[in-house]
Amino acid sequence: MIELSTTSAGQVSDLLAAGAVSSVELVQQVLARMEQVNPLVNAVANTRAEQALREAAASDEMRARGRTAGPLHGVPVTVKECFHAAGLPSSWGNPAFANAVVDADSAVVARLRAAGAILVGNTNLAFMLGDFGQCANEVYGVTANPWDRTRSPGGSSGGSAAAVAAGLSFLEYGSDVAGSIRIPAAFCGVYGLRPTVGTTPLSGFGLPGPTGPISELSYPISVGPMARSASDLRLALRVTAGPEGSAAHAYRWSLAPSRRERLADFRVGVVLDDPGCPVNDDLAEPLSVLVERLGTAGATIVHGWPPGIDPAAVYRAFGGHLEAFLAFQTGTGSLGDLVQHEQVRMAARAAWDRHFADIDVLVCPVNFTAAIPLDDLPMEERTIGSRSYFEQTFWISQPSLAGLPTVVAPVGHTAAGLPAAVQIIGPMHEDDTAITFAELLAELTGAYQPPPL
């Protein structure tokens, strides 16, 4: 029996290669755990048990003949319900599309399958991907945080993060416009990657029904993996990233190597707080401890935002771009202040580029708070203590506006026992620098820990 709540996708891939377990046995274990645990957290929306078992058997037969499809051969995975997967619904949590079963795979799902992964099902999400702090809809219900079922797993990829944390999947794929990978990863204590914008393909990641697909010109969206180890993020990115369609005839994508391989060699920018969005004391403490340990480990620490970055202006501009993105999807809205926001975006990208000439990564909070209580009020009426619900997008907006790769890594727990996490911002197109740094952080903070389910 494999320990489903702690084993990483890379580790289970090695076990499969060594013959220590079969893919059929793994899929059976995952399905059994889903029956046992999913009623507690409601992370998995739909399963494809019979198909997954058939594919696992074929995977085992293929391995017995001395052949493998790729680095995920025989590994059970799940994806967020908004990714098209043939034979599964893709309703985006909207009752109007509850029966919208799709007949073709999205690019991400197709590439996971081509690497040998076994798709076991898909996971819950916020209604129309419209909530960064919670995961609920009228089709599948509310997803709870595996660490505390009175609290949220985050949104909109809340089901994705909860499934990984609860041992219901070895690897997940989510989407991030306004923190929808990063906030759930932080709330549930798992690793998450928002890749450099444009790195992973968006085809088959489309709104249901007649509204049609999301254009690749919709720059705020980035889709990426969630996992129980930083190395799994690298593994997933390598099998899913790169151009598609006509662009694939012109160029190839490869993962640029990390700038550094030892913590002592990293030049680390640090911002642990900001008057525009003060971090709660219970979360600030483990983040401060992390920075102290980084210094002790020999990393070069440089405090402060990059010169030329005004975090409040970035936050406002990102909000403007989100409004433009929504207008693009619905066909309504006007240019308004978009030109001004675009000027801030390009200035921010240039400032980050200059900063990363001397700094390798920048570490900052993901959110001002750890996992928040579940709340069924309309979003505009919600508060977190005395603070606005919408303040949760302040910290995630900083790398998002410039389209930078960002890894969320668990770094311990608050005094109340909730996961604490950091956001690791890397140079554009140097995703592996941020991934490697997250991987090395485990030396200081300990590896991923499973929730007490």
Is the C-alpha dihedral spanning 109, 201, 315, 93 positive or negative?
negative
Q: Is 254 in the active site? A: no
**Tokens 């401890």 correspond to what residue?**
289
CA nearest to 408, candidates 168, 216, 215, 157: 157
Partnered with residue 424 across adjacent β-strands are 363, 407
Asked if 425 and 398 count as a contact pair (C-beta separation under 8 A), the reply is yes
- Rg for the chain, CA atoms, rounded: 20
CB count, 10 Å around CB of 416? Answer: 11
Which residue is catalytic, options 5, 106, 156, 231?
Answer: 156
**Enclosing H/E stretch for 365:** strand 361-365
Nearest 5°: CA angle at 407, between 405 and 412? 160
From residue 359, give the alpha-carbon distance in Å to each of 208, 353, 398: 42, 10, 16
Q: Is 80 in the active site? A: yes
Q: Is 156 in the active site? A: yes
CA distance 302 to 90: 45
Peptide bond into 90 cis (omega under 30): no
Which residue is catalytic, options 23, 59, 80, 160?
Answer: 80
Cα 332 from chain centre: 29
Which residue is catalytic, options 180, 222, 258, 400?
Answer: 180
Of the chain, the end-to-end C-alpha distance in Å amounts to: 18
CA distance 124 to 315: 28
**What tokens appear for 191 in the block?**
């690793």
Q: What share of the chain is helix, strand, coil (3-state, %, to 5)?
A: 40, 15, 45
Active site residues: 80, 156, 180
